Amino acid sequence: MKISWESPSNIALIKYWGKKDIQLPSNPSISFTLSECKTTTEVHFSKGRGVNITLDGLDKPEFIPKIESYLERIIHRHPWLSSYNLQIKTSNSFPHSSGIASSASGMSALSLCIVDFAQKLNFKFDALNFYQEASILSRLGSGSASRSIYGGIAVWGNSPSLKGSNDEYAIKYPGLINPIFEDYHDVVLLVDVGEKSVTSTIGHALMNNHPFGKQRFSQAHKHLNEIQEILKTGDIENFIRLTELEALTLHGLMMSSSPNYILMKPNTLKIIEEIREFRSESELPLSFTLDAGANVHVLFPGSAKKKAMEFINSNLIQYCKENRFILDQVGSGPKRLTNFVK
């Protein structure tokens, strides 16, 4: 039986950086689910045991250890997996060498296929519903993947200020959202498309003995309280202040860990400077965020799209590798593609 899902990437506004136990976050995080950056995965389940995986039709034996350790982590929840063979065919909408993390979209797409098949087997899973179970499995594959299960805005990690929030799975953001944030755009400027010098796994681990770890985790809680008011009222000025602070804090944490490291490139800083200059001159609500890499995500509401794109084309793409960027926006979440093809 073959099952196929498409699942998007997401961009965190309040960052997950640091984890404990088995993939539990050190602080709550919140993100926009994207629309264009996505992974499509088809899994062929057959009786037996083992895994193989192709990316864009090419065998990828180097991905097998990662998938196997993910399967080991989830098998206590899905013991039926031990008598199945998984043939995984996957492809990303964004180029493999774009420096865009495929773990959020990839792990969520695979988890959705597995939970879908479990349901088909009439397997009773522990979580309350399909999406909660898919978010738990996604989290066990990659923390940020837990948030890709929901369209719009998603929150992962327990916050006393948000009812229903949980370390084990993400939830769709339950608060009021001003319409301005339902049509938010994210232009991903591809500054550096190579392998990252330090992986997120190592970065998270460095938060364990980080001199500012405790302060950071309580800051993230405070930011999650603040962003709820911002999302409700559509307070763009504070949205920009808070999300840029989060982005630079993430990189500040990397620069102040032992060992320390820098993932931003000179062009990352040039873009940030240009955005800030343009914002103060034009008064357009254009801002940036960063993930754990050199690429810059330029954020703006749909109403600013025309002017923002003019500015990006005239001033920013010169800093991108081969002038490359991806135009994305807040999206509606994963989609089941085929329904139980035998």
* Given 28, 143, 151, 334, the residue binding ligand DP6 (CB under 6 A): 143
Site string for ligand DP6, 149-188 (x = CB under 6 A): ----------------------------------------
Measured CA to CA, the distance from residue 278 to residue 266 in angstroms comes to: 18
CA dihedral (270, 272, 274, 276) in degrees, to 10, reads -150
Instruction: Give the nearest distance from C-beta 142 to ligand DP6 in angstroms.
Output: 3
Instruction: Give the nearest distance from C-beta 49 to ligand DP6 in angstroms.
Output: 25
3 state SS of 338 = strand
Q: Is there a cis peptide before residue 285, judged by omega within 30 degrees of 0?
A: no
Instruction: Give the nearest distance from C-beta 14 to ligand DP6 in angstroms.
Output: 8
Burial class of residue 145 (count of CB atoms within 10 Å of its CB; 0-12, 13-18, 19+):
buried
Site string for ligand DP6, 211-250 (x = CB under 6 A): ---------------------------------------x
Report the site for ligand DP6 in 89-128 (rule: CB under 6 A): 101, 103
Instruction: Give the nearest distance from C-beta 280 to ligand DP6 in angstroms.
Output: 27
State the helix-helix crossing angle for 103-120 and 130-141, rounded to 10 degrees: 140
Instruction: Name the residue among 268, 280, 282 with its Cα closest to residue 320.
Output: 268
Q: Which stretch binds ligand DP6 (CB under 6 A): 14-22, 178-186, 267-275, 324-332?
A: 14-22
Residue 142 makes contact with ligand DP6 by CB under 6 A: yes
3 state SS of 84 = strand
Instruction: Give the nearest distance from C-beta 86 to ligand DP6 in angstroms.
Output: 20
Instruction: Name the residue among 50, 129, 115, 56 with its Cα closest to residue 91.
Output: 56
Q: Which stretch binds ligand DP6 (CB under 6 A): 9-17, 42-50, 172-180, 232-240?
A: 9-17
The answer to whether 186 and 297 are in contact (CB under 8 A) is: yes
- List % helix, strand, coil for the chain (3-state, nearest 5): 45, 25, 30
Instruction: Give the nearest distance from C-beta 119 to ligand DP6 in angstroms.
Output: 25
Question: Which one, 45 or 184, has the nearer CB to ligand DP6?
Answer: 184
Instruction: Report in angstroms the alpha-carbon separations of 13 from 17, 30, 102, 232, 317.
Output: 12, 6, 18, 15, 23
How many angstroms separate the first and last alpha carbons of the chain? 5
Residue 42 makes contact with ligand DP6 by CB under 6 A: no
* Given 92, 200, 228, 295, the residue binding ligand DP6 (CB under 6 A): 200
Site string for ligand DP6, 283-322 (x = CB under 6 A): --------xx------------------------------
* Given 46, 97, 201, 323, the residue binding ligand DP6 (CB under 6 A): 201
Question: Which one, 15 or 77, has the nearer CB to ligand DP6?
Answer: 15
Residue with the two structure tokens 């299960």 = 149
Question: Which one, 231 or 292, has the nearer CB to ligand DP6?
Answer: 292
Measured CA to CA, the distance from residue 189 to residue 316 in angstroms comes to: 8
* Given 4, 5, 8, 16, the residue binding ligand DP6 (CB under 6 A): 16
- 317 sits in which H/E element: none
Residue with the two structure tokens 């559509």 = 234
* Given 38, 77, 185, 204, the residue binding ligand DP6 (CB under 6 A): 204
The answer to whether 333 and 151 are in contact (CB under 8 A) is: yes
Chain residues in the site for ligand DP6 (CB under 6 A): 12, 15-17, 23, 29, 101, 103, 142-144, 200-201, 204, 250, 291-292
